[in-house]
């Protein structure tokens, strides 16, 4: 019998993880391992996981770490033999820019949701209305009926009031997703919040078991990990080992069509110059590309094209250490949306990350390296600026937030025009229908569109798709 063939479309971390699982996972290839071919439209693999050399450091251009308590990323790093390259986060906590001043965010929050009145009362910069809303939730909570799904914003606004929703929760949850909490699905993004709302009573009390216990003690698992050579080193090493396993990797090659055929192979995968037969196809692309390639098989697959994606940009800056007044604690600053800017309108920066506080390998005694994040699903103003103008605007805002007295020593702009899929209310139904349609067609779906936007979630999505493809072949 001829060897089975599986084609993976898309060379981001999900596609690479799918290829890893297809080629044997932790155990490596064996006699029944299929032929695996991965096709990526760009020259570089890894999607947003990429690094560059900047200011005498290896700096990530996209995500710079991952949640350590989810097992998917740490497991894959271990299987690659890279466990000794994991680097724990070097600090915890953050500050919030409120009413023209920095305020340290209290502990005891669950993704920005306060879990006690004391946490709210300790936070300067909030109005008396926010404190009254928190006290009301603790002693006389508002009733809220939630159905199968609800937006994060609808739950938090009803239970805790608009100020806590938009000043506490949106900077954190909205920042992670690059979206708006009034649109984002609690069921898909924050299911524990939806469960807490369904239980009724005080939302803060119901969320207490969800809140982290604080900084982990000696020997405990850290909250986040990175890699000593940056997260962009992960797809490079993964691709190297996949090639050693016999996986065929084709870069700078776009898939033009997936066609079902009546033969020993179920599909033919077309590019401009080749056709590859495949028993199973794993589609690990952004939602719009997946819809284009698979939409003719089923309307529920075509519906993937309706999922919006948010763009963003990151401006990395190096300052003399003496030129900044950093908060005493924490790895960054969150800036609520619609925070007024002195020249009119609202601030462009949504968050600052102190990279050399987060990761020890980036620390230098003489300078500070930080990253400013700009852009949300409904704020694409950064696209109106060229790189020089964007840097100039961001530097002005950094000077305000951190009382900077000098110019940056080095700057870098990285734009991600379509970075993060938006999980709107009802996202789980749309994705469930698409996965069912894909399964009927003999296709596996993987990527940040379906199972979460973080690195561990994307790796897990790819590996599950690979495992499901192997089960089909069996």
257 and 323: one domain?
A: no
- The structural domain count of the chain equals 3
Tokens read off for 259: 């066609």
Could you give the 3-state DSSP secondary structure of residue 118?
helix
204 and 252: one domain?
A: no
- The answer to whether residue 382 is domain-embedded is yes
- The answer to whether residue 224 is domain-embedded is no
- The answer to whether residue 435 is domain-embedded is yes
- The answer to whether residue 55 is domain-embedded is no
396 and 358: one domain?
A: yes
**What DSSP letter does each residue of 245-276 carry, written as one string?**
TT-EEE-S--EEEEEE-SSSSSEEEEESS-EE
- Domain span at residue 132 reads 109-210
- The answer to whether residue 63 is domain-embedded is no
H-assigned helices in 263-384: 287-294, 299-302, 355-358
pTM of the predicted protein model: 0.95
- What value, to the nearest 5°, has the Cα angle with vertex 316 and ends 72 and 448? 30
391 and 436: one domain?
A: no
Tokens read off for 231: 């997260």
Tell me if 21 sits within 8 A of 470, measured CB to CB: yes
Q: Which of 470, 474, 466 is nearest to 446 (CA)?
A: 466
**Burial code of 67-86, b = ≥16 C-beta within 10 A, e = fewer?**
bbebebbbbbbebbebeebb
How far apart CA 261 and CA 269 sit, in angstroms, is 10
- The answer to whether residue 83 is domain-embedded is no
CATH assignment of the domain containing 381: 3.90.660.20
How far apart CA 240 and CA 80 sit, in angstroms, is 10
pLDDT in tens, the chain (474 residues): 478 999 999 999 999 999 999 999 999 999 999 999 999 999 999 999 999 999 999 999 999 999 999 999 999 999 999 999 999 999 989 999 999 999 999 888 888 899 999 989 988 889 999 999 999 999 999 999 998 999 999 999 999 999 999 998 999 888 889 999 999 999 999 999 999 999 999 999 999 888 775 555 556 678 899 999 999 999 999 999 999 999 999 999 999 999 999 888 999 999 999 999 999 999 999 999 999 999 999 999 999 999 999 999 999 999 999 999 899 999 999 999 999 999 899 999 999 999 999 999 999 999 999 999 999 999 999 999 999 999 999 999 999 999 988 899 999 999 998 879 999 999 999 999 999 999 999 999 999 999 999 999 999 999 999 999 999 998
């Amino acid at each position: 019998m001829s060897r089975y063939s599986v084609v993976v479309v898309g060379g981001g971390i999900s596609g690479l993880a799918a290829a890893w699982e297809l080629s044997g996972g932790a155990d490596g290839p064996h006699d029944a391992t299929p032929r695996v071919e991965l096709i990526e439209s760009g020259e570089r693999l890894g999607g947003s996981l990429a690094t560059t050399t900047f200011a005498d450091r290896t700096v990530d251009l996209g995500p710079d770490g991952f949640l350590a308590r989810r097992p998917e990323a740490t497991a894959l790093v271990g299987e690659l033999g890279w466990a000794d390259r994991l680097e724990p986060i070097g600090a915890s906590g953050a500050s919030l820019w409120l009413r023209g001043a920095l305020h340290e965010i209290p502990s005891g929050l669950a993704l920005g949701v306060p879990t006690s009145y004391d946490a709210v009362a300790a936070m300067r910069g909030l109005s008396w209305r926010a404190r009254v809303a928190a006290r009301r939730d603790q002693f006389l909570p508002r009733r809220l009926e939630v159905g199968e799904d609800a937006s994060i914003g609808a739950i938090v606004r009803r239970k805790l009031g608009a100020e806590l929703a938009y000043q506490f929760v949106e900077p954190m949850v909205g920042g992670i997703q690059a979206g708006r909490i009034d649109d984002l699905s609690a069921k898909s993004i924050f299911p524990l919040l939806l469960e807490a709302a369904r239980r009724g009573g005080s939302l803060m009390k119901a969320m207490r078991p969800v809140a982290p216990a604080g900084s982990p003690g000696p020997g405990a698992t850290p909250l986040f990990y990175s890699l000593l050579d940056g997260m962009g080193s992960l797809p490079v090493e993964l691709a190297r080992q996949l090639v050693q396993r016999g996986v065929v990797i084709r870069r700078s090659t776009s898939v033009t069509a997936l066609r079902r055929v009546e033969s020993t192979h179920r599909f033919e995968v077309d590019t401009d110059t080749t056709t590859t037969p495949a028993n199973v196809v794993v589609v690990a692309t952004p939602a719009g590309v997946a819809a284009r390639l698979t939409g003719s098989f089923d309307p529920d697959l075509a519906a993937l094209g309706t999922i919006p994606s948010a763009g963003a940009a990151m401006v990395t800056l190096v300052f003399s250490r003496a030129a900044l007044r950093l908060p005493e604690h924490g790895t960054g600053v969150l800036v609520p949306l619609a925070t007024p800017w002195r020249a009119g309108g609202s601030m462009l920066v949504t968050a600052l990350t102190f990279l050399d506080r987060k990761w020890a390998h980036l620390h230098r005694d003489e300078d500070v390296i930080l990253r400013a994040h700009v852009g949300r699903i409904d704020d694409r103003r950064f696209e109106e600026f060229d790189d020089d103008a964007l840097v100039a605007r961001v530097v002005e805002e950094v000077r305000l937030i951190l009382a900077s007295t000098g110019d940056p020593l080095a700057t870098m702009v990285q734009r991600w025009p379509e970075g993060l899929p938006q999980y709107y209310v009802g996202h789980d139904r749309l994705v469930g229908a698409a996965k069912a349609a894909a399964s009927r067609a003999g296709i596996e779906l993987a990527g940040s569109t379906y199972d979460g936007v973080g690195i561990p979630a994307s790796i897990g999505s790819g590996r599950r798709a690979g495992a499901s493809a192997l089960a089909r072949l069996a």
